[in-house]
Structure 1
Amino acid sequence: MAFLRSNRRPARHGGMMRLAAALLATGALTALVATPAHAQENNASLRGRVTVEGTARVEAVEVNTGLRRSAEVGPDGSYNLASLRPGTYRLEITTPTGTRNTDEFTLNVGQNAELDFDFSAAPDQPDAVAEGEGIIVTASRLRTMEGGEIGTTITPRLIEQLPQNNRNFLAFADLAPGVQFVTGANGESRLQGGAQDSRSVNIFIDGIGQKDYVLKSGITGQDSSQGNPFPQSAIGEYRVISSNYKAEFDQVSSVAITAITKSGTNEFHGDGFIDFTNQSLREKTPIEIRNGADKVKTKDIQFGASLGGPIIRDVMHFFVAYEGKRQEVPVEITPGNGRTVESFPAEYRELFGTVNRSFNEDLFFGKLDFSPTSKDLIELSGKYRDETSVGLNSGQQAVSRATDTINEEIRILGRWEHSEESWINDFKIAYEDVSWAPTPRVFENGTILQATNTRASLLELGGSGNYQDKGQKGWTIQDDFTFTGFKGHTIKAGVKAKFVKLNSLQLNNTNAQYFYNTDFNPNGGTFNATIPYRVQFGANTGVADPIVKSDNFQFGIYLQDDWDVTERLTLNLGLRWDYEKTPAFLDFVTPADAVAAVSPANYPNLNGADYDIRDFISTGSGREPFLGAFQPRIGFSYDLDEEGRFQVFGGYGRSYDRNQFDFLQQELTQGAFTTRTFNFITGDPLNTCVAGPTCVAFNPIYLTEEGRQQLLAGTAGGRGGGELRFINNDLKTPYSDQFSLGARGRFDLVQLEAGYSHIESKDGFAYLLGNRRPDGSFFAPNQRPDSPFGFAPPGFGSILIGTNGIETSADSVYLKLTKSYRPSSPWSLDATYTYTEAEENRAFGEVFSLDYASLDDYPVLRSSGVRKHRFVAAGSVDLPIGVTLSSKITLASPPFLKGFVNQATAPFERLVVGTWADSNGDRWGLRQVDLAVTKYLPLKFLTKESQLRLRVDIINLFNDRNFVDFNTDPNDTTSTVGSPSVFGGRSAYGIGGNPTRTIKLSAGFSF
């Protein structure tokens, strides 16, 4: 048993001091800038018709803050309130006969609502308004026009009531069709949509994108983290859009999420909570059961508090929130490739089993809002995130492979919204400072023990090769304008400029990594862990700075018209254009030694190659930013009846994402601090190379620093012995085309929806192996297929070339049912079933494509990252005894697995074959049922709304084991002692993001 803790703290940031300074700077800029702006995608809108004799005026009043927005009623009776902060409202309708007030109703984030009033109707007619001062607004009168987009709204009740083992507000996003919220065996969570990976996602909080420009997670802070992107107690609600979003959304090609943060109100409200679980409240893991061991001591404590209220009633309010997390989480170290612990020598067996990793997180959020007039709203908010964690995941890595990771994030937002009768301006200025830095726990040689044919890791021990410090920092200026002065049109236009510095320090393989074919032992015996066939280690080249920085400039502009063509037909017509300049890539000059290494004189292997290396050599002036990111977004909705209860909808849109900087910077870092690769001649028939400076007979001295220096001395200077990375000069930007068609029906509080969507993504980035054999071929003719790793340029490692070409497609049919909660009907249900046929030309999420010469050579097969069937349901009910019962159910079919088969006889092909996993659960492909019971205890002797809540969450109620380790070797068709599983079968006991059945105890107080 081992307990891992991280005590390293960041030295670069002043944390809260820098947050305060940035808040002051943003506040000053917000006060100084007097520029107009618009209603963004995170707001709601309300429109309709008032039938009355004479003129009329509609004024919306936000009940909790007193914020007011007004609109004149046009000659045709129409009114349009285009930008309303989501919340609880009432309307004041002024007519020649006086002013009437509606009762209260709620507008959700991104909602486009319609509400009509007929003051000429007889009182006994169904659509008549009430006589006297009041107007009753029932759910059937308030209609929502969702247009052509596919998605769902996650309400405050869902966030508050549904069970979860982690306070990640995104955990309920998978209620939207085609969306997956995936929690890995290591506790890290990610979003994905269609057949695309997480880097294509974007989340907009209060209208500002949280895109990660450097790392793969899609949003900042979520790469290799068990943490949460935002304090859940500070999120009001959010909308998930999986297809056909409007032109406001940028830098996204799959799932877009728009969320709003909470604000203070005219009354003081506060909340505090603590969640707790430990090993006594969970069942044993499969490894603990198999080994007959006691449960490893674990703990998970989450706690926090929030407070909001008035500073000046109806004018200024505040809201603050804090959430903390302290975890000791078990991870399971298991043999890879289906091997058993007993197949390893005795000295390695004690490295397997269950150990703990630690994780600490602190999240802070604060917000001020100020309404100096009825036409102005000024907001200032800030977030600070601080994490320290031990990077050790379930799998084949021993405890010594752990890394200490610092994850820190500061975000500041200043906003000024100004509204007039027919237009609204929304100006935003934002600042961000994000850093992510993993460092090896120990500094010593790393050992990778592998299987013969697949090179799959059986066990990794020694020092980690992961040593990085990456992030982004800069300013965003965004201005949006909404105009409602044209009858039947809501016209939005916006522009965004972003000045962001991207940085990357990558000293990977500071700890030398040695690779062993355990099945080949030249000294005899059945297990080789003494003679490696390869070593990789990092070394300074002395020709460049290993710290790569790029002062990026991003620019985006859009125009959107929501046009009511008739009373039944609405068109959403939009066009946006985006631009990004990445100087580190555009101005890069390929170093002379790299150019010489691949020249015909030094490396004639490329003379007959199927690509031209000159397309990948940059002179510093031949690369241009991509200018073709024009993105039409078209949607429609048509009411089949006058009441708008039944509707057909659909649309088409193109959405450009961006190329991840972590891919682009490798071209530079390989010339500064490069990984040197040396192959050893050991007699291993499956790991051969041509004798030369980087292919030498093995000598035990090469296991030492002295020996590694001898290896370097035998190669050319600079980056000699290191990899060469080149990127296509004509690099394109990844994008997706989206098409949808569906129908909706509303039956009082129940809404049904059925639809079809097609999402096709293209131009994804990948690295290919650029090595070629002496005749220019990738595979040797009439021989068993083998990638030409051993045919690198003399004195250098392999050539990797970066280019576009990864493609995916997803065709989905879905059914969605929503039953809204009301006090008169105190239960809710959200359920979505999605059937998806998804394909890809590269294994899901993989960037390094080193098995074929070209991406065109990869066969298009079913996606390994998308389940064919997926059903997600969540609901809650208030019981008469002051108890709320809630549950979430997730069911899915098994994953699709793919692997390579190298035919050793004619026709000597390398094939990619696939199979369904042999289920990944005890009973289903995937099943997880969570349950929560909450008891509310009123404390009215304190205040009218004070209450204590006691809650029990049961995560994974039926103790389903959703395994994640499968045999992906198609050559494994017969179980053996060393490899007991076959292709598609479970190969180890690691389970996914759902823990074993776990009880979480919670207590909270609110007032």
Structure 2
Amino acid sequence: MFLRIASAWILLGLIIAPSSYGMQNSATTGTLAGTIRDVSGAVVPGVMVTARSVTTNQTRRASSGDDGSYRFVALPVGNYELRIEVPGFDPYVNPTLTINLGRTILLDITLNPAGVTQIVTVTDQPPPIDPTATATTTTIDPERIEELPVNSRNYLEFTLLAPGVAPSNPQSTAGARGQAGSPLADSGFTFGGLRPRSNSIAIDGLDNTDETTGSARVALSPEIVREFQIINNGISAESGGAAGGAINVVTKTGTNDFHGDAFVFAQNEIFNARESVTAKAGVGRPLFHRYQPGFSLGGPIQHDRLFFYVAAEQEHLLADSAADISRSARERINGALASALAPSLPVRSLQTERFRIGADETEAAGKMTYLAGRHTVNSRFAFTNSRLRGEAFNTEELNDISSRGTSYTKDYQLTASDMMVVSPGLINEIRFQASTRRALSNGGDRLGPEVDIVGIARLGRPYDGDTARRENRVQVLDNIIIERGHHELKAGITVNHVQLLSEMRDGFGGLFIFRTVDDFLAARAAEWRQAFGTAGTQFSTTSFGAFVQDRYQPIGSLTLNLGARYDIERLPQSFRTDYRNISPRIGLAWNPSSPWVLRTGFGLYYDRIPLAFLNRAIQKDGSRAFEQVASDEVASSIFSTIGGHVASPFSTFAPSIFRADPAFVTPYSAQANASVERLISKDVTARADYLFTRGIHLLRTRNINLVPPLSSLDGRVVFGPGRIDPRFDAIYRLDSSAASTYHGLTLSLNKRLSDEFELLASYTLSKVIDDASDFDEQPRNPYNLRAERALSRQDVRNRLVVNGLFDLPIGEDENDGGKSQTEQDLLTKVFGHIEAAPIFTFSSGRPVNVLTGTDDERSRAYPLASRPLGLGRNTLRTPRSINVDLRIVKFFPYGGPRRLDFTAEAFNLLNHPNIVAVNAFYGSGLTS
């Protein structure tokens, strides 16, 4: 059982200037548009409109057309003042406009005749509904990032607040490898039931995805994140390289005012509920110490021209953990090891008590912004240094400390961009990044082999946990926006070159699988496998993308988004490069009346290939490296005679290799959506969405060297020793023959921040079916792929998420400055200046693939694929989960703009036992 425990945090925050930020850059911008009329309702053409950033004084101007419409495209996110001065009319000023990421703000303006008033000042915000949007999106605004509770301060966890998004199944990624999961981390999120490796994560419009695994790359402190947008269906033609969803992050920019924070978070075991596995493994409360100090600072270097923003924080964790290996099994295994069973095994005893795990991480980033006439130039450098000890991977509770992973990761990223406003209707932007990631990982045992007593214990060097790699990336893109009448044309190109230098030593330490403890004591191995040869590889991929898109409004109430994209990913020589990747994108939004918007859309979305998938065919091609596999008596003989790491391959064993499918094509998805949204009040919207996603040509692995199987007496399909190509034992073909289907309905209610209250509630009803949930999942019978079609491990049938921000209605607003404390009564002193931010999550259980723990079909599948007779794929489910997180802030204003914060956070406040992974092995091993 994996149990989320309740905890409390203490935050000390020092704010030394008002909180206001500027923003930047295209794919990370918003739009402001509307129509200008006089008091009679007639449109007013030729009016010059000025939008001024209140934080940097940067200005943009646009003129209303013959129909009175005006439009600012690619407007940097932030707070603006809108001003109109035209002869014959009173001046118009709206000083409180907020431009949000990826949204179109519609603001219609009525001008009064001159002399009615000296100046017309309007402070109302435009309606929160966007009648021109055709995609399914959610924006995580600055208030949510700053106020909502988040464990370990990873802002990307807020992605799970969006409707239609679910966390990736832990038994599909870093979970038990016998359940076809990979220890390679993924993005952590699934959109449309697609694989978590198929998502796009971008910061300031540039890729931030680890191309080897599909996870996020450089980590940022939340202090430098302005806001981000989650797009889970209907992505425009501008975005490519992901079949799933997209997460677009924009960072803060310095302003004309200095602003900074200094803070420290502390968490201690005295606040924690007792986690059952670790608590019962020793005496007293398990140790848990976490400290996270940090700071941020932004401001002007030269007013109205040059700005900076920097943020950095660290995490230091020291905690107790334990393995959930039964006492009887542990004693029997330790007794056998002590009596010289398999003397060549490096691990001579299982850990009997708690053991220490830890983490040390530094995240730092700095950004410079230069405003020079028509140019907005940004540059950013980000750095992450992370070391995880004993908790990097293989942390499931049947793993001894010798199998648990330690990792070291270093990320460097340098980016630059220039957005040039050639004219109000012509904008060009160019972006560049150079980045590198170095990742090392290893288990507690560095020699091997791994010993896996299925469903009971795992010890020794992990089969796939010894890796050293460096990933280098260079990316350049250029986009142009042209606005002509009712058309907004956008086109662009991008080049993304990624180089991988790696030693992924999967299997080079060896692996012995045992059905039961009795079999281990008797040295009766069910399977042995080990890789031999050279682990090092070096190769690169280059992606080219080009797109064109037209946003067209034939009438004011109808918006069409029409686009197409062409992508090529040049793969290493052993893989076929697919040149047919043309993806149309179509979206429609209809605003029949002011409170209603109807939307629909369709598009194709081509994926990029994880480099870890490519590496298998390049590395274990039979000449560079290969595997050898043995079963039952032969495997037992190897364990009895060698009992450890095998130094050289056996000359009598045929090698097993990996090979790319000669007909390999690029995976992609077909996505469609239909939605209706209604404006309930000036700050509240309600929305219903139907989402469809079809995953096509998804990646999988299967053994194509088996002769057709026979049926055993019990009805199980069993493969004989014959091989199609007798030179090899197994030929694991890496192909693109898998598929998935997702149907989802989401209902959401959103109240934007007003009157110190903000709310987002969403419910998702969905179903996902697939025939492989990750690229290394193999079928039980390669001749019957249809039998693998079942519920996907990414299926989450019901999911409800509610989050909110509110102030207790006592005392001053946090932005009101500072009455003297003597002016407040006792009630205000105690209960004033308190903010609360809860997150409630309910989720159905996840499918689990029940396995026997051995290769009963003799298909040579690994990860293992054999299921008990009569059970289909993914037929078991984990229990439902219920979670409540809460953050309470009490702040004390002092010294003008300064304030002191004390914060308490609780995670899983109700201490509900949320089981996210189970022991999926069924058979005699569990009873021995």
Q: Structure 1 length normalisation: TM-score?
A: 0.78
1:113 match: 105
CA distance in 1 between partners of 2:528 and 2:718 (Å): 18
Q: Give 1:701 shift.
A: 3.3
Q: How does 1:135-284 map to 2 (within 5 A)?
A: 135-140=121-126, 144-145=130-131, 147-181=133-167, 184=170, 190-217=188-215, 219-220=216-217, 229-284=219-274
Aligned to 1:990: none
SS of the counterpart of 1:583? coil
Q: Deviations over 1:25-79 (max 9, x none)?
A: xxxxxxxxxxxxx973211011111125563101111111111111122122111
* 3-state DSSP of counterpart to 2:521: coil
Task: Measure the CA separation in 1 of the matches of 2:111 and 2:325.
Answer: 75
Report the Cα offset of residue 558 of structure 1. Answer: 0.7
Cα shift readout 1:519-572 (whole Å, capped 9, x = no counterpart): 664xxxxx636343443333326xxxx432223221111111111121111111
Q: Deviations over 1:700-749 (max 9, x none)?
A: 332256x644x53x34xxxx754211111121111111111111111211
Change (3 A) 1:814 1:789: farther
1:729 aligns with 2:662: yes
* CA spacing shift, 1:236–1:381, aligned 2, 3 Å: same
> What secondary structure sits across from 1:631 in the alignment?
strand
Alignment of 1:702 with 2:652, yes or no, is: no
Secondary structure, counterpart of 2:641 in structure 1: helix
After superposition, the Cα gap between the structure-2 partners of 1:949 and 1:699, relative to the gap in structure 1 and judged at 3 Å, is closer
Equivalent residues in 2 for 1:75-86, closer than 5 Å: 75-86=66-77
Cα distance in structure 1, aligned partners of 2:440 and 2:282: 38
Change beyond 3 A, Cα 1:789–1:435:
farther
Equivalent AA in structure 2 for residue 441 of structure 1:
G
List per-residue Cα deviations over 1:353-393 (Å, max 9, x = no partner).
Answer: 643321111111111011111x2111111111111112351
How has the CA–CA distance of structure 1 residues 702 and 900 changed in structure 2, closer, same or farther, with 3 Å as cutoff?
A: closer
User: In the alignment, is the contact (CA less than 8 A) between 2:385 and 2:409 conserved in 1?
Assistant: yes
Q: Secondary structure at the match of 1:585?
A: coil
SS in structure 1 of the partner of residue 213 of structure 2: coil
Tell whether the 8 Å contact from 1:770 to 1:798 is kept in structure 2 after alignment.
Answer: yes
Corresponding position of 1:608 = none
Conservation of the 8 A alpha-carbon contact between 2:525 and 2:636: no
Aligned AA (1:572): N
Contact map agreement 2:369 2:378 (CA 8 A) in 1: yes
Aligned residue for 1:785? 716
Q: Deviations over 1:923-977 (max 9, x none)?
A: xx1011011110111122xxx31111000001111001111343535x66xxx99
In structure 2, the partner of 1:832 is: 762
Q: 1:781: how far off?
A: 6.7
Q: CA deviation at 1:790?
A: 5.3
Alpha-carbon distance in 2 for matches of 1:790, 1:386: 49
Name the amino acid aligned to 1:832. Answer: S
- Check the 8 A contact 1:205/1:258 in 2, yes or no: yes
Aligned 8 A contact 1:343 1:978 in 2: no
Distance 1:898 1:845 in 2: 13
- CA shift, 1:582, in A, is 1.8
Structure 1 partner of 2:826:
none
Contact 2:627/2:657 (<8 A) preserved: no
Deviation at 1:861, TM superposition (A): 1.6
C-alpha separation in 2, matches of 1:699 and 1:735: 44
Say which of 265, 276, 289 aligns to 1:299. Answer: 289
For residues 308 and 104 of structure 1, do their structure 2 counterparts lie closer, same or farther at Cα, with a shift above 3 Å needed?
same
Whether the aligned pair in 1 keeps the contact of 2:142 and 2:226 (CA below 8 Å) is yes
Shift, 1:288, TM fit: 4.3
- 1:785-827 CA-to-partner distances (Å, cap 9, x unmatched) read 35548556667542211111221111111110011112xx111
Structure-2 change in CA distance of 1:169 and 1:909 (3 Å): closer
Counterpart in 2 of 1:890? 841
Deviations 1:889-909 (CA, angstroms, capped at 9, x unpaired) = 1101222233368999xxx99
Is the contact between residue 169 and residue 846 of structure 2 (CA under 8 Å) also seen in structure 1?
no
Q: 2:878 and 2:641 mapped to 1: Cα distance?
A: 47
The correspondence of residues 960-975 of structure 1 with structure 2, limited to 5 A, is: 960-969=912-921
Structure 1: state its 5+ residue gaps.
1-37, 124-129, 222-228, 451-455, 522-526, 587-622, 683-688, 690-694, 981-1007
**Residues 556-603 of structure 1: per-residue CA shift (max 9 Å, x gap):** 1111111112111111111111111123434xxxxxxxxxxxxxxxxx
* SS of equivalent residue, structure 1 residue 212: coil
Select the residue among 453, 457, 460 that pairs with 1:459.
Answer: 457
> Residues of 2 paired with 1:979 and 1:748: CA distance?
62
The amino acid across from 1:630 in the alignment is I
- Cα distance in 1 between the residues matched to 2:529 and 2:763: 47
Aligned to 1:437: 440
Match of 2:426 among 412, 420, 423: 423
Structure 2: distance between partners of 1:918 and 1:949: 43
- 1:406 CA displacement: 1.6
Match of 1:379, SS state, is strand
> 1:50 aligns to what?
36
Q: What is the CA–CA distance in structure 2 between the aligned matches of 1:826 and 1:697, rounded to whole Å?
A: 71
Q: Is the 8 A contact 1:51 1:120 kept in 2?
A: no
**Stretch of structure 1 that moved more, 140-149 or 197-206:** 140-149
- The residue aligned with 1:12 is none
Shift of 1:675: 5.0
Contact 1:298 1:356 in 2 (8 A): no
- Residues 253 and 655, structure 1, Cα contact 8 Å, conserved in 2: yes
Partner of 1:958: 910
* More off after superposition, 728-737 vs 441-450: 441-450
Distance 1:629 1:639 in 2: 33
State the identity %: 21
Q: Which runs of 5+ in 2 are unaligned?
A: 1-23, 39-43, 176-184, 338-348, 811-831, 858-866
Whether the aligned pair in 2 keeps the contact of 1:379 and 1:415 (CA below 8 Å) is yes
Q: TM-score, normalised by structure 2?
A: 0.84
| Per-residue Cα deviation, 1:611-668 (whole angstroms, up to 9, x for no partner) | xxxxxxxxxxxx4x21111111111111121xx2211111111111122221112112
**1: distance between equivalents of 2:873 and 2:704?**
26
Deviation at 1:840, TM superposition (A): 1.3
Aligned ranges 1:650-669 → 2 under 5 Å: 650-669=600-619
Call closer, same or farther: CA 1:514–1:918 in 2, change over 3 Å.
closer
Equivalent residue pairs, number: 835
Q: Which range moves more in the overlay, 136-145 or 58-67? A: 136-145
Aligned residue identity for 2:599: F
How many Å apart are 1:449 and its aligned residue? 3.4
Worse-matched range after superposition: 659-668 or 325-334 = 325-334
Determine the structure 2 residue equivalent to 1:818.
750
Whole-Å Cα distance in 2 between the matches of residues 195 and 91 of structure 1? 42
> How much does 1:182 deviate?
5.0
| Distance change in 2, residues 1:815/1:343 (3 Å) | farther
Q: How does 1:983-998 map to 2 (within 5 A)?
A: none
Q: Partners in 1 of 2:164 and 2:558 — Cα distance?
A: 26
Measure how far apart 1:307 and its partner are: 0.4
Query: Partner of 1:34 in structure 2?
Result: none
- Report SS of the residue matched to 1:377: strand
Measure how far apart 1:494 and its partner are: 1.0
